[in-house]
Structure 1
Amino acid sequence: MGRPVVFIPDKVPEEAVRYLETVAEVDYRAWEELPGEAKFLQGLERADGLLVYSRHKLKGPVLDRAPRLKGVCNIAVGYDNLDLEELTRRGIAATNTPDVLTETTADLAFGLLLAAARRIPEADHYVKSGQWKGWLPSLMLGKDVHGAVLGIIGYGRIGSAIARRANGFGMKVLYSNLERVPRDEAALGIEYAAMEELLGRSDYVLVQVPLTPSTAGFIGEREFSMMKPDAYFINASRGAVVQEEALVKALAEGRIGGAGLDVFEREPLPPDHPFLSMPRVVTLPHMGSATRQTRAAMAMKAAVNMAAILQGKRPENLLNGQVWKQ
């Protein structure tokens, strides 16, 4: 009987590939761009394991083309690209990569807040395009971050890491979550608030929730109408948790002050999207975990999970425990 085959249809750090080669035959395609459907399905046909970024959607019809598949290891903390119910029904283990990207994503989210508040990308373009002719009293006036109120919607690992950064800026942090977090309330001085109160009191509203059926589109016109007219909205979680049309309308009508966005309902943004012509909106290309160190750690964690599955061991980050027989 031959070695199991692991299909990797993405460019990943080489150390993860080398690690998996010790336990399996690795069908590695260092594709930077998304492969066509035919190429992806061809690789799936002989795969016992699949190591992927969340840009690959693993739903029912796709899985029909992978008769040998035993495990899918997402190189991401989010897993809305996986049909967990269908994977479980087929006895296929699924894992993600929590923890290793927490601090890096929190850096990006807080940096996005700073960039939007102080108009940093706009100012950079102003200088580089030759528009800067000298100092003016009202040039590029932004909004203070230190001492402001930050409202965090969804308080998990990343939310907690963002709160620690906000503490360093002397911000008052409110949070709304399914469960209270007494540890951080005591250690960081954060305050639990219902959504309506958080939206009404916050100078910056930051959403950090996973995309699930219950969170899809849960930030919409009603929520934006509760925010202060000079408040900023920050999203570095998933684009589909926000009703984008409602956000565009709130910004266009001046009902909120601005936004910092790393994620969108449709990615990449179409060239005629309203966000691209709004000066008070900072747009990033979904780069929350995009550092060399963190991407390497994510890929290695996924590789370790995959090796465990192929060796008949329960992986550390199993998402569908029902498939594992003790």
Structure 2
Amino acid sequence: MRLRCAVLDDYQGVALSMADWGAVADEVDVRVVREYIGDRDRLVETIEDCEILVVMRERTPFPAELFARLPRLRLLITSGMRNASIDLEAAARHGVTVCGTASNSEPPVELTWALLLGLARGVVRENTALRTGGPWQSTVGADLYGRRLGLLGLGKIGARVAAVGQAFGMDVVAWSRNLTDERAEEAGARRAASLEDLLESSDFVSVHLVLGERTRGLIGEAELKRMRPTAYLVNTSRAAIVDQDALATALREGWIAGAGTDVFDQEPLPADHPYRSLPNLLATPHLGYVTRRNYEGYFRQAVADIAAFLAGEPVRRLG
């Protein structure tokens, strides 16, 4: 009996071309679902016949209630080795093996700088004016050289962002609760005395922390008001680290000059969300990890995980 596999949220329609699915073709029928399905009942109707599911990061959450409605499910594969939207305990109770793939840290670093540079030089506004016959030059760019870059988090991604900041001649400082002077120095940065000190003294602040109980809502109204009115905030980490309503207010009322974000509390972003109309917000639809090299790695390793599962061999389990 052939098994059924659905690849969810293949927005670009590339899942089947990014890997050789022939390795499992004799035993598994694979189909893709391109559109996001937010309605739980419709989602169940779409995938309830599947023994195997491949999901892209945290686009479709898998809480306990969903596992209970998918009795055929036996293998759930997520891109990356961390997915906070999957209830691993519920998966285990329902006999579902959850595994993942490797993920490269360079793509979110690159997008961080795309947002930061886009904000600093008014790229979108100037490009729109050029294409629509608007004014020829209407902005004055913010310098990077000699300015302070404040990094919240100095892990694998934050350290790479720091290296680029150094290449631009920026003064790089960093903060996290467990950061030491030695670790900061290794990454070419200085440890800020406190979160408040970093926010008050930085011209650009970029978020690279893991979401957890200690970081959820870390940047709220009080923290945004500590930033300079000429400063910019960039978040390519997790939306919940920054209070979304407070950020919208900060942008509307000019507490900060602008912000760049790739992550949102609700994805896809609703059509009437205020973020869609804020002129000083540069936003991208969660593209940090969306590159060819990452996608090829995700789907090739997803195929390998399926093959290993079918052969009864160990897979890259989460949790």
Q: Does the alignment reach a TM-score above 0.5?
A: yes
Q: 1:218 to 1:84 in 2, by over 3 A?
A: farther
Q: Name the aligned partner's letter for residue 315 of structure 2.
A: P
Deviates more, 1:255-264 or 1:182-191: 182-191
Find out whether 1:250 has 2:250 as its counterpart. yes
Q: 1:39 to 1:17 in 2, by over 3 A?
A: farther
Q: Name the aligned partner's letter for residue 163 of structure 1.
A: A
> What is residue 124 of structure 2 aligned with on the other side?
121
Q: Name the aligned partner's letter for residue 202 of structure 2.
A: S
Q: TM-score, normalised by structure 1?
A: 0.84
Q: Could you tell me whether the CA contact under 8 Å between 2:102 and 2:297 is conserved in 1?
A: no
Q: Could you tell me whether the CA contact under 8 Å between 2:24 and 2:303 is conserved in 1?
A: no
> What is residue 154 of structure 1 aligned with on the other side?
153
**CA distance in 2: counterparts of 1:106 and 1:146, whole angstroms:** 19
Higher relative CO (Cα under 8 Å, sequence separation at least 6) belongs to 1
| Deviation of 1:182 (Å) | 6.9
Find out whether 1:104 has 2:103 as its counterpart. no
> What is residue 60 of structure 2 aligned with on the other side?
56
Give deviations 1:160-205, integer Å, cap 9, x for gaps: 2222222221222222234337775344321223322221221111
- Partner of 1:16: helix, strand, or coil? coil
**CA distance in 1: counterparts of 2:181 and 2:19, whole angstroms:** 38
Q: 1:181 to 1:106 in 2, by over 3 A?
A: farther
Give deviations 1:204-235, integer Å, cap 9, x for gaps: 11112333444332321121122122110101
> What is residue 50 of structure 2 aligned with on the other side?
47
Q: Name the aligned partner's letter for residue 49 of structure 1.
A: I
> What is residue 71 of structure 1 aligned with on the other side?
75
| Deviation of 1:32 (Å) | 2.1
Q: How many residues align?
A: 312
Q: Name the aligned partner's letter for residue 190 of structure 1.
A: A
**CA distance in 1: counterparts of 2:185 and 2:214, whole angstroms:** 29
Give deviations 1:89-116, integer Å, cap 9, x for gaps: 334332334432x111110111101101
Select 1:33's aligned residue among 29, 32, 35: 35
| Deviation of 1:28 (Å) | 1.4
Q: Name the aligned partner's letter for residue 286 of structure 1.
A: H
Where structure 2 has 5 or more consecutive residues not aligned to the other structure, the ranges are none
**CA distance in 1: counterparts of 2:171 and 2:142, whole angstroms:** 15
Q: Name the aligned partner's letter for residue 140 of structure 1.
A: T
Q: Could you tell me whether the CA contact under 8 Å between 1:148 and 1:172 is conserved in 2?
A: yes
> What is residue 166 of structure 2 aligned with on the other side?
167
Deviates more, 1:305-314 or 1:196-205: 305-314
**CA distance in 2: counterparts of 1:99 and 1:141, whole angstroms:** 37
| Deviation of 1:15 (Å) | 4.2
> What is residue 93 of structure 2 aligned with on the other side?
89
Deviates more, 1:208-217 or 1:252-261: 208-217
Q: 1:85 to 1:192 in 2, by over 3 A?
A: farther
Q: Could you tell me whether the CA contact under 8 Å between 1:6 and 1:47 is conserved in 2?
A: yes
Q: TM-score, normalised by structure 2?
A: 0.86
Where structure 1 has 5 or more consecutive residues not aligned to the other structure, the ranges are 321-326
| Deviation of 1:19 (Å) | 5.1
Once superposed, what is the RMSD of the aligned Cα atoms? 2.6
- Partner of 1:286: helix, strand, or coil? coil
**CA distance in 2: counterparts of 1:94 and 1:117, whole angstroms:** 41
> What is residue 218 of structure 2 aligned with on the other side?
218
Between the aligned residues of both structures, percent identity stands at: 31
| Deviation of 1:241 (Å) | 2.3
**CA distance in 1: counterparts of 2:101 and 2:78, whole angstroms:** 7
**CA distance in 2: counterparts of 1:206 and 1:122, whole angstroms:** 21
Q: Could you tell me whether the CA contact under 8 Å between 2:231 and 2:257 is conserved in 1?
A: yes
Deviates more, 1:150-159 or 1:116-125: 150-159
Q: 1:15 to 1:128 in 2, by over 3 A?
A: closer
**CA distance in 1: counterparts of 2:223 and 2:23, whole angstroms:** 46
| Deviation of 1:129 (Å) | 1.2
Q: Could you tell me whether the CA contact under 8 Å between 2:5 and 2:30 is conserved in 1?
A: yes
| Deviation of 1:7 (Å) | 2.8
